Amino acid sequence: MRSLDNGRILATIFAIIMIITLVGCGNLSFNINDYFETTTTEKITSTNQEIKQTEPQPTQPVENLTTDKTKRTPVVVTKPVNTYPELRKGYSNVTEMDIYTVRSIIESILYTDMSTIEKIKTVHDYLIKRTTYDKTYYQKDNSHNHLYNILNENRAVCQGYAVAFYIFMNEIDIPCSLISGYAGENHAWNAVKIDGEWYFIDLTWDDPIISNAAGIKTNDYPNGDNISYTYFLCTKNFISRNYKAEEYIGDMPASYGNSNEYNDYPYYKMGYKGVYRINTAEDLKCVSRMTNSGDYIFLRTSDTVNIDTIINKVDEYIRSTNRGANFEFQYGEESVKVHVEYKS
């Protein structure tokens, strides 16, 4: 490679000498950029070919073709300020200053060319990235100021997450409810309405506790690498397994989403080739769709099929293809992730 570069350098010097000689004679019109543009294109093409050969990239949906934020129009909320009096009893005191802060954040993270789902996900991710779940914080004197705490102290319990999300959605006119009830303990979460259907979302449980580099349990990771989407736009069948709603603020979801389309969105965004929801053993026929190398995820939507059954079925199918595949599993109580590389 070094000798090739030296050869190009010599060729360049020779070309410049020839240019000077010919231009001096008045016989040639020359654009030096033509030479360097051609050379640069060759290098890029060669590099791309090497990358494609060694690091195959997963297929992901195109979301926004406009990547230059300076050319995008931010969402600006101009309607009269609402301090959400419905939240004062039992949830949160909200001031005008809080709302101005929310609107400033909205203008910095949301754009008019985003879809409804993209806006929901952007707010979901923003609040999780900047917030640490802190149950001890709930005992402090200002614990009722849930919105202020999450905006300024970056600390919250489930009510803080749910209150903040409820206000962000209502500020951008996405129908949203705040729900309180029971999910193993007293809990709060949300529902949003998309295309006439209600879907459930729980930022608290999508903010998982992990061990950091020092081995300390935390859910403070500003890069957002560990954000979960298990409770991002869930259907009633899924959410009702562990949740019991007791009180609604906002519209009570009367029509429940039963499509998997919205649930699958974040998984395909992360590069999964297939997202399969397993309600009964019959649903495991979907393993036959694992025909390409890549990542797949299986989500349990009922207790009738356990994790071991899913793993065994996937293992059995991959081995039956006789394609010499390498594969591995990652699993928890509700999901099984599979990475497979077929050799033929």
Whether residues 105 and 177 fall in one domain: yes
CATH code of the domain containing 282:
3.30.110
More confident residue, 218 or 80: 80
Give the pLDDT score at 45. Answer: 25
Q: Which one-letter DSSP state was computed for residue 280?
A: S
Whether residues 263 and 290 fall in one domain: no
137-153: pLDDT as tens digits: 655 555 567 888 888 88
CA distances from 154 to 128, 160, 201, 242, 332 (A): 10, 10, 20, 27, 28
155-199: pLDDT as tens digits: 788 888 999 999 999 999 999 999 999 998 889 999 999 888 888
Whether residues 44 and 182 fall in one domain: no
> Alpha helix locations (H) across 142-234?
146-148, 158-171
- Is residue 117 within 8 Å of residue 265, measured between CB atoms? yes
Domain count, the chain: 3
Whether residues 95 and 244 fall in one domain: yes
Whether residues 177 and 245 fall in one domain: yes
Helices vs. strands in the chain: H and E counts, helices first: 9, 12
Whether residues 258 and 296 fall in one domain: no
Range of the domain at 276: 271-341
Least confident span in 63-72, 73-82, 166-175, 327-336: 63-72
Residue 67 lies in a domain: no
Residues 6+ apart with CB under 8 A from 207: 128, 131, 133, 161, 219, 227, 228
Model pTM above 0.85: no
What is the pLDDT averaged over residues 215-234? 66
Whether residues 8 and 24 fall in one domain: yes
Residue 211 lies in a domain: yes
186-197: pLDDT as tens digits: 899 999 998 888
